[in-house]
Chains A and B, each alone.
Chain A
Amino acid sequence: MPFLATPLVGGDAFEMAQRIGLDADRELATLADPVDQAACLRRYWDRIAELGWMATAVPEELGGAGGSLADLAALAGGAGRGGLALPVVLSCAVVPMLLAITGEDRRTILADAATGQARICVIFPGAACDEAMQSPKLTVSDGHLTLDGAVAGIETPPDPTHLLLVCGETDPVLLLIPADARGVACTRYQRIDGRLAGDWTFGKVTVESDWILARGAAVAWRAEEACDLGALLTCIEGVSAMGAIIEQTIGYLSERVQFGVPLSSFQALRHRVAEMYVEYENLRGLVSQALRAASASDRLPWRDIAFAKLRLGEAGRFVAQEAIQCHGGMGMTEALPAIRLARRVMMAEFEYGDRTFHANRLLVDARQDDEAA
């Protein structure tokens, strides 16, 4: 029996997420027009909203399912394996975690996010912007808060209704900005991995007082936790995709005949696959441990997560690149699911902190430990 990857968290939710991912991936592959593709993604968004995915992590008293980290992991894993081009980690985990900071009076937004009616992007501090842009900045003038600046390449749900923006270093603020507010503009597009993204600009945007969900140290802390949760679930998504990539690469090498023999008879290729598997297993072990540690504690184990995300960069890229190489010319095309997954894994590295970001965190922390000692 050829290799079959075992999910980190299996079960019905995993199977469902995988099935929907595969359906969406198949359907998207038949569409050439970006408008049709965006419409297709919106249909799938509505479907997963109806299935309650975005309510998974929302507390029951607020209309959610009150689910656990394992429930989120099952969805992220299934979606990763199926190659679902929707922001599952963002919308099911990161947004609800950020919104959970709000006071009683603002809980309707959480309920709307849980039903998928509110489709929210998140802009963390340090979000990408080009040289000519200025990062989002809040200034006070005439007693009003004004927001200016721009960010680029922000992952988005279909037809975004809101933006969550974490802004300000000394006194961080969490803003919930309606996407259609005056002075807010978004250029939307589809990324190479099929996901939707947008470049946002803020031109003299007057910040309404009810946009401010929270401020102060709690915002910084919450943003960091949300980012770590995003990183952990992205690792789970990535590991799951990597397992599928290896399975499919084995399938391809076993089928494809050259020089009169299946490619799988060449040791050079078999060894590449063995190396992919070693990297995959090593990362799976690390992510599995981080997931267990996260489930066992109220605080997310940021060091475990940082190591895992760092390794996703290393191991994920390795597996993706080797898969492309093993597929030869087909590895340079979009035709095969394995290659689309490989491309997705390469993109996942840059979500919720790339490998250098997490390496930097760990190195700074080690230095502080040394100085304290």
Chain B
Amino acid sequence: MAAPIDYDAFRREVTEFALTRCPPEIRAAVATYRKLSRKIWQPWQEILHEHGWGAPSWPKEYGGTGWDHQQRHIFDEVMAECDCPPQYHHGLRHIGPVIIEFGTPEQKRRFLPGILSGKDWWCQGYSEPGAGSDLASLRTSARREGEEYIVEGQKTWTSHAHESDWMYTLVRTSKGAKKQQGITMLLIPLDSPGLTIRPIRTIDGWHHVNEVFLDSVRVPVANRIGEEGQGWTYGKFLLERERLGGANVAPALKNLERTRALVARELAGESNRLKREMLEHRLLLAEAALLGARALGKEAVAAVMEGKPLGVLPSVLKLSTSVTHQHVAEVALDAVGERLAPRFRRIDAGGPNAEAPGIEWVQNYMYMRVRTIYGGSSEVQKNVIAKQLFGA
């Protein structure tokens, strides 16, 4: 039997690594709320990979760390506490595990090393203009011609497509009795002829999501995951694996800590006392809610470690933390808003005085609205919880 894991020692080891090996400019970018892009993520992934920590959630045989859930949870917490970027998730946490579970030996050889090293960058082709929360309504189609699929349609909200190499994509290959049937998962290179990426202008003035148009894009059958028509199963597998994602409340607590420092700095002095104290009180309420969520997160990790079902706990965590994240961002906006909101403009517009000190707090407030929309909107989460609570 293996020796019991000393989690405290593990935490110290990870902390030491984070503080010494993550480049200061990367940590500074995280600490100052810069929006993360491949330019920041990739070098960090390379460092982690070199150390053997490229894939905390993968089994050892595929180059992962083989850590248990508790270790992974600690790793994620420490990363947030030390201002290290969270690892780019589309390869490591989403498609990687699907390839490990359902991919052919050839697909594993072809794709896993690039994800581990950070050489290949992935994005997710799920949502469509007519299929958001109701993903199974997707209409992008693929018809088979010999050893190729011809893909026609449009994907949207495709985060980081403009800096990615590959898109794992759900397409419709047939119409079944249920709309979840007849969906197939394809891996599509983003430089394929017929594929066009267009930026979506989001309210936060930052380019992170795209529309992806697929006009007779030819995809080799060898790029299909598993069986034709079984894509929904693989997509669900992917989401199931992500159910512990919300258990890590450390980024939200870190965010709160930064906002508290912002309030103290921005509203220093007697003349700002009342406003400062009002905001401090709101932060305290947010902290209380986050501490509750953190306690639930620990319960979730413990449940998974003991092989117990999580039930609706992930939905509860998502709802709790997403709204509180937004509250904290609102406090930050209220701290700097009078000074900075009137000067906020599109980041990519550039121009004179575009980077006023602290402007990222305004941007962040706008960006944070997405928390209750993506990854299953609050309303979808409430449907899930209610179904469980009412027993129907």
Contact = CB atoms under 8 A, between A and B. Distances in A.
Interface of A: 1-3, 246, 250, 253-254, 264, 267, 270-271, 273-275, 277-278, 281-283, 285-286, 288-289, 307, 310-311, 314, 359, 362-363, 366, 370
Given A253-B390, A274-B389, A288-B299, 10 more contacts: A2-B390, A2-B391, A250-B389, A250-B390, A270-B382, A270-B390, A281-B320, A285-B299, A311-B288, A314-B289
B388 A3 contact: yes
Contact of B292 (A1, A264, A270, A285): A285
A316 B381 CA distance: 21
The 9 closest A-B pairs by CB, nearest first: A285-B295, A282-B292, A270-B386, A274-B382, A285-B296, A286-B292, A274-B385, A289-B295, A2-B391
Contacts of B379: 271
Contact of A307 (B264, B280, B288, B319): B288
Contacts of A311: 288-289, 292
A9 B280 CA distance: 34
A286 B285 CA distance: 13
B202 interface: no
Given A310-B285, A359-B284, A283 B292 contact: yes
A189 B50 CA distance: 73
10 contacts: A3-B389, A253-B390, A273-B389, A274-B383, A274-B385, A278-B319, A281-B292, A288-B299, A311-B288, A314-B288
B385 to A, nearest CB: 4
A277 B288 contact: no
Nearest to B293: A282
B392 to A, nearest CB: 8
A179 B131 CA distance: 71
A310 B390 contact: no
Given A278-B319, A278-B385, A254 B281 contact: no
B158 to A, nearest CB: 29
Given A273-B386, A310-B285, A363 B280 contact: yes
Nearest to A310: B288
A3 B312 CA distance: 11
Contacts of A275: 319, 382
Given A1-B391, A2-B390, A286-B292, A314 B285 contact: yes
A129 B31 CA distance: 49
B287 interface: yes
Given A282-B316, A307-B288, A270 B383 contact: yes
Contacts of B313: 281
Contacts of A363: 277, 280-281, 284
* Chain B: number of interface residues, binned into ranges: 20 to 34
Contact of A278 (B277, B280, B316, B390): B316
Nearest to A249: B389
B291 interface: yes
A286 B287 CA distance: 11
Contacts of A270: 382-383, 386, 390
The residue in A275, A285, A307 that gathers the most chain B C-beta atoms within 10 A of its C-beta is A285
A1 B381 CA distance: 19
A282 B296 contact: yes
Contact of B386 (A274, A286, A289, A314): A274
A338 B171 CA distance: 49
Nearest to A314: B285
Interface in B127-174: none
A246 B288 contact: no
B291 A286 contact: yes
Contacts of A282: 289, 292-293, 296, 316, 320
A3 B389 CA distance: 5
A274 B284 CA distance: 24
Contact of A281 (B316, B386, B391): B316
Contacts of A273: 386, 389-390
B288 A370 contact: no
A283 B264 CA distance: 28
A278 B281 CA distance: 22
Contacts of B385: 274, 277-278
B101 to A, nearest CB: 31
Nearest to B264: A370
Contacts of B294: 285
Nearest to A303: B291
Interface string B362-392: 0000000000000000010111011011110
Contacts of B381: 274
A271 to B, nearest CB: 4
B316 A277 contact: yes
A1 B391 CA distance: 5
A285 B288 CA distance: 11
A277 B296 contact: no
A286 B288 contact: yes
Contacts of B386: 267, 270-271, 273-274
Interface in B323-340: none
A289 B291 CA distance: 9
B339 to A, nearest CB: 23
B217 to A, nearest CB: 39
Contact of A264 (B285, B289, B291, B390): B390
A307 B291 contact: yes
Nearest to A292: B295
Nearest to A251: B390
A169 B299 CA distance: 42
Contacts of B285: 310, 314, 359
A2 B389 contact: yes
A274 B386 CA distance: 5
A33 B154 CA distance: 72
A206 to B, nearest CB: 44
Contacts of B296: 281-282, 285
Nearest to A309: B288
A73 to B, nearest CB: 16
A270 B384 CA distance: 10
Which residue of B287, B381, B385 has the most chain A CB atoms within 10 A of its CB atom? Answer: B385
A359 B388 CA distance: 34
Contacts of A250: 389-390
A282 B290 CA distance: 8
Contacts of A288: 295, 299
B293 A285 contact: yes
Given A2-B390, A250-B389, A278-B316, A310 B295 contact: no
B297 to A, nearest CB: 8
Given A271-B386, A277-B389, A362 B284 contact: yes
Contacts of B287: 307
